[in-house]
């Protein structure tokens, strides 16, 4: 199924055959490859190589470093269709979303190329005569990237394109569920490296390994930054371990994203927004819409319209003309069914959620997306279940809606559908949504790369991708320069 495709992406057969770790496609559950999991000891060698690469790379002028990322963006453009298809096969995304993920990689490359000429520091007014002050941003070192199955390529690209222009080396530990996409990304990166010419060896390395291998990376003091995307449970382990050695981390963990749907909302727009955000990527984005907080006066109409839209959603092979592909695996399916059972226990009324296409695909897990009308924000609603379950909760006044939006442990994405400017502005104000992303008349998912991406509370607090996220990949230095013939002390101190 994947041999030709991987070949066209430059991955050699030995990398995905005869290994000790089976790779399955969620499309029909069949095994498509086997890769070799590297030993934890191998990680130390990789860090060694990466550190040496960093020592050379940090002295390459940033715009020149940007040229490597520019070339990578070009290589991605040429291989967009194939890489997108591989993502569909390995992560189960529909074609449009597989292509979208590659486009997101291309976009961040472009963004990083621009940044490579804009790693600006400040000039600061000194209180002392004949003195200058400034702030300089320097490369940081080796960046460890840990990524999840659901964005098997783009999240690595966000981190790596910025890390590289910032003068760092990267070691990437992808999800064990999606190593083929990682192999392809790495092979394409090597094409760009060849075109670039003189980059140091080991600037970007892949670490296909299990949890133990990841732990070695996380604990290594030669890795000043760990950027980890995944579950809150994973972040709870990674965060303290990195902090214990005074390393930095960028954590992008669970989301429990809500839409507040107000009486003035454009309902046509809202229903379309709900559909893409709640069922896109089969509910397996960290930004997936999981809670619909809807004004009681429009609730019945909205629920009826969303149910009608859900009933028409085409579920099936993500490479065909469908909108919803499979869940990643049986574990994801069982977690979804468990959450639905719990929701029923807590007073929920469930629509959809049943397994689909079981006869055709006995080893794959397709589901009808579920809508669950809840009496309130019960325990199950406060928990992130990585599946297409949309909990619906009615509200009566706007303050209550805001409170519901914020009263969950996670704080990634949120949105409001309204045509009332007061509500829209309040939602985005200091006392509005407490999330890292707060949208108006746009769903919770599908962010552009230009903005900083991440969220608060159990989401981990990290920011990746756009805006000034690059600063997390550099070290800041404050410089004071005396060009006078005196040595005045700050704070007016006299010391003689």
Closest to ligand UN1 by CB, 224 or 455: 455
Find residue 169's DSSP bridge partners. Answer: 142
> Strands 225-229, 142-146: parallel, antiparallel or unpaired by DSSP?
parallel
**Cβ distance 435 to 416 under 8 Å?**
no
Is 285 a binding residue for ligand UN1 by CB under 6 A? The answer is yes
* Binding segment toward ligand UN1, per CB under 6 A, in 5-13, 108-116, 281-289, 333-341: 281-289
- Give the one residue of 145, 286, 324, 370 binding ligand UN1; rule: CB under 6 A: 286
**Closer by beta carbon to ligand UN1, 236 or else 355:** 236
Q: How many residues bind ligand UN1 (CB under 6 A)?
A: 11
Shortest distance in whole angstroms from residue 248 CB to ligand UN1: 20
Q: What three-state secondary structure class fits 217? A: helix
- x/- track of binding to ligand UN1 for residues 46-85 (CB under 6 A): ----------------------------------------
**Taking CB positions, which residue lies at the least distance from ligand UN1?**
447
Instruction: Give the number of other CB atoms < 10 A from CB of residue 124.
Output: 12
Q: Which stretch binds ligand UN1 (CB under 6 A): 111-119, 135-143, 285-293, 347-355?
A: 285-293
Give the DSSP per-residue string, 39-50.
Answer: PHHHHHHHHHHH
In the complex, least distance from residue 85 CB atom to ligand UN1, rounded to whole angstroms: 19
* Binding segment (CB under 6 A) for ligand UN1, from list 319-327, 336-344, 425-433, 443-451: 443-451
Contact region with ligand UN1 (CB under 6 A), list: 219-227, 284-292, 383-391, 474-482: 284-292
Tell me which of 82, 445, 459, 469 binds ligand UN1, using CB under 6 A: 445
Given the residues 252, 373, 384, 423, the one annotated as active site? 252
Separation between Cα atoms, residue 9 and residue 286, nearest integer Å: 27
Sequence-separated (6 or more) residues with CB below 8 Å from residue 221: 245, 247
Q: Measured on CA atoms in the order 350, 353, 355, 356, is the torsion positive or negative?
A: positive
Query: Binding pattern to ligand UN1, positions 362-391, x when CB under 6 A?
Result: ------------------------------
DSSP secondary structure of 321-376: S-SB---SSHHHHHHHHHHHHHHHHTT-EEE---EE-TTT-TTS-EE--EEEE-SS
Gap between the terminal Cα atoms of the chain: 80
Residue 405 sits in the site that holds ligand UN1 (CB under 6 A): no
Q: 435 with 426: CB under 8 angstroms?
A: no
Phi/psi for 234 (5° steps) reads: -65, -45
DSSP H or E stretch at residue 414: strand 413-417
Q: How far is the CB of 222 from ligand UN1 (least distance, A)?
A: 27
Residues 225-254, one symbol each (x = binds ligand UN1 by CB under 6 A, - = not), give ----x-------------------------
Taking CB under 6 A as the binding criterion, the range among 3-11, 106-114, 261-269, 442-450 that sits at the site for ligand UN1 is: 442-450
446 counts as binding ligand UN1 under rule CB under 6 A:
yes
Torsion of CA 183, 184, 185, 191, to 10 degrees: 110
172-183 burial by CB neighbour count: b if 16+ within 10 A, else e? Answer: bbbbbbbbbbbb
Tell me how far CA of residue 222 lies from CA of 39, 400, 475, in angstroms: 18, 48, 14
Pairing relation of β-strands 31-35 and 21-24? antiparallel
Can you tell me the distance from the alpha carbon of 15 to that of 18, in angstroms, rounded to the nearest whole number? 8
Q: Lay out the site mask for ligand UN1 across 135-174 (x = CB under 6 A, - = otherwise).
A: ---------------xx---x-------------------
CB of 360 to ligand UN1, least distance (A): 28
Whether 373 is catalytic: no
- Point out which span in 17-25, 66-74, 282-290, 317-325 binds ligand UN1 (CB under 6 A): 282-290
In terms of Cα–Cα distance, which of 108, 102, 113 is closest to 77? Answer: 102
Residues that bind ligand UN1 (CB under 6 A): 104, 150-151, 155, 229, 285-287, 445-447
Q: Which residues are designated catalytic?
A: 252
């Amino acid at each position: 199924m994947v041999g030709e495709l991987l070949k066209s992406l430059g991955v050699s057969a030995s990398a995905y055959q005869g290994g000790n770790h089976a790779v399955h496609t969620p499309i029909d559950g069949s095994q498509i490859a086997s890769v070799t999991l590297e030993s934890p000891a191998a990680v130390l060698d990789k860090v060694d190589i990466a550190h040496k690469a960093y020592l050379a790379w940090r002295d390459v002028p940033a715009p020149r470093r940007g040229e490597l990322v520019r070339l990578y963006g070009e290589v991605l453009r040429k291989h967009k269709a194939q890489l997108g298809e591989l993502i569909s096969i390995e992560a189960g995304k529909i074609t449009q979303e597989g292509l979208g993920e590659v486009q997101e990689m291309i976009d961040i490359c472009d963004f990083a190329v621009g940044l490579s000429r804009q790693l600006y520091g400040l000039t600061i007014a000194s209180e002392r005569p004949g003195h200058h002050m400034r702030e300089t941003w320097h490369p940081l070192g080796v960046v460890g990237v840990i990524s999840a199955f659901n964005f098997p390529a783009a999240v690595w690209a966000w981190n790596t394109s910025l890390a590289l222009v910032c003068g760092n080396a990267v070691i990437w530990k992808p999800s064990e569920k999606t190593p083929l996409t990682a192999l392809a990304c790495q092979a394409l990166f090597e094409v760009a490296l060849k075109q670039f010419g003189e980059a140091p060896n080991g600037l970007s390395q892949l670490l296909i390994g299990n949890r133990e291998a990841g732990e070695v990376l996380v604990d290594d003091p030669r890795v000043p930054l760990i950027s980890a995307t995944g579950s809150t449970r994973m972040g709870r382990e990674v965060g303290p371990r990195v902090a214990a050695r005074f390393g930095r981390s960028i954590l992008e963990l669970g989301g429990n994203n809500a839409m507040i749907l107000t009486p003035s909302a454009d309902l046509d727009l809202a229903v379309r927004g709900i559909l893409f955000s709640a069922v896109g990527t089969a509910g397996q984005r960290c930004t997936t819409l999981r809670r619909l907080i809807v004004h009681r006066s429009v609730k019945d109409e909205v629920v009826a319209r969303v149910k009608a839209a859900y009933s028409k959603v085409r579920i099936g092979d993500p490479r065909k003309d469908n909108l919803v592909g499979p869940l990643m695996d049986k574990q994801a399916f069982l977690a979804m069914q468990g959450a639905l059972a719990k929701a029923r226990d807590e007073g929920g009324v469930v629509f959809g959620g049943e397994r689909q296409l079981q006869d055709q695909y006995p080893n794959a897990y397709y589901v009808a997306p579920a809508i669950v009308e809840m009496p309130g924000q019960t325990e199950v609603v406060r928990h992130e279940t990585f599946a297409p379950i949309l909990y619906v909760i009615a509200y009566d006044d706007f303050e209550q809606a805001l409170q519901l939006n914020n009263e969950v442990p996670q704080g990634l994405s949120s949105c409001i559908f309204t045509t009332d400017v007061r509500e829209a502005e309040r939602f985005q104000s200091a006392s509005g949504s407490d999330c890292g992303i707060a949208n108006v008349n746009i769903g919770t998912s599908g962010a552009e790369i230009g903005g900083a991406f991440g969220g608060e509370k159990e989401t981990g607090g990290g920011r990746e991708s756009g805006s000034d996220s690059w600063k997390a990949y550099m070290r800041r230095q404050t410089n004071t320069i005396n060009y006078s013939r005196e040595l005045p002390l700050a704070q007016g101190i006299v010391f003689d």
